[in-house]
Amino acid sequence: MQLKEHLDKSLFGDINFEKLDVDKFPIWVIQRVIDRGTDLQKEKLIEYYGFDFVRETMIKARYIMPFGIHFVLVRLDIPLTKLRFYKESKIIGLDYLYKKDDFHIDEYLCF
């Protein structure tokens, strides 16, 4: 399968899409598509790179845009508390990611 044929050029507007090497920069491609791509494009990522690699990449991500967070939590089945992005936001006090009275993680507001 060719992954690039399933990706929209607009996801990579800051680079020359024709020169994009999805095998050389998999982590960057995964994060970009999870943050901005369609559900179909995200599923193609999983098909191409494998569920476990995509999942581990997103666990380690420094930031996940609101558009991609639901996919990460639900489809990749990653608990919010396991995400590096979430852990670091709690440490530095970025409280826009969780309720101020965050006693139960299952009450997390997913934007």
Are residues 108 and 70 in contact, defined by beta-carbon separation less than 8 angstroms? no
Highest mean pLDDT pick, 1-10, 42-51, 100-109: 42-51
User: Per the structure, how many domains does the chain have?
Assistant: 1
Is 0.85 surpassed by the pTM of this model? no
In whole angstroms, give the CA distance from residue 71 to residue 64.
Answer: 10
Domain range for 65: 21-107
**Does 10 fall in a domain?**
no
**Does 58 fall in a domain?**
yes
In whole angstroms, give the CA distance from residue 29 to residue 23.
Answer: 9
Specify the pLDDT at position 66.
81
The predicted-structure confidence for 61-82, as pLDDT tens digits, reads as follows: 988 888 888 899 999 999 988 9
**Does 15 fall in a domain?**
no
**Does 14 fall in a domain?**
no
**Does 16 fall in a domain?**
no
Buried residues in 76-86 as b, exposed as e (16+ CB within 10 A): bebebeebebb
